[in-house]
Structure 1
């Protein structure tokens, strides 16, 4: 193994971080859907959940914590989420970005990958 090999992150190491926002297009199923996503985060072994938004994402966070997600962070907007992630990401971390279109989380992914941030 060379010195350069030591610097390559192991794809099996690092944390799995999910950044999620509110799903606003679900109608009567909205509340339960947010809770179910929280439960699923625990079932799938998410190490950290970064929730963007208000009351609905708080439901996701509460259920994620109850399902075993060890680290949960709530932020108000995409700019704050991107800045937070930029400050805590380590080599080997994996980030899952999932939202409805209205959440515009592609902006966070764009910022983290150095792309110009776009709107709708």
Structure 2
């Protein structure tokens, strides 16, 4: 049994480790119903001091403002606890939403897990 307090996931989320980071792999349609299911898992992962988190959106088919709130929530919780948050995203429409809202500036998306880990840490500014 693992000592990791992060729950294993839901139908919208798979949690796993990659190169010393906790990866939250979101899947499917990320809307308000999905967000309600994801929040407890996101909070468990981002609530630890110094947490090193990657949010992977490559398997997301739909992403609305509920998804943006999840990303902003994760970012704020990680920054408040001196952690690190990286983002993986390749879907053109989701990338567009991230750019239009300014979140891509604060949480630069990378095309893969390894590329995300190679990026310098995201800025700590506000939108």
TM-score normalised according to structure 1 size: 0.40
TM-score normalised according to structure 2 size: 0.38
Structure with greater proportional strand content: 2
Rg bigger for which structure? Answer: 1
Structure with greater proportional helix content: 1
Larger RCO of the pair (alpha carbons < 8 Å, separation 6+): 1
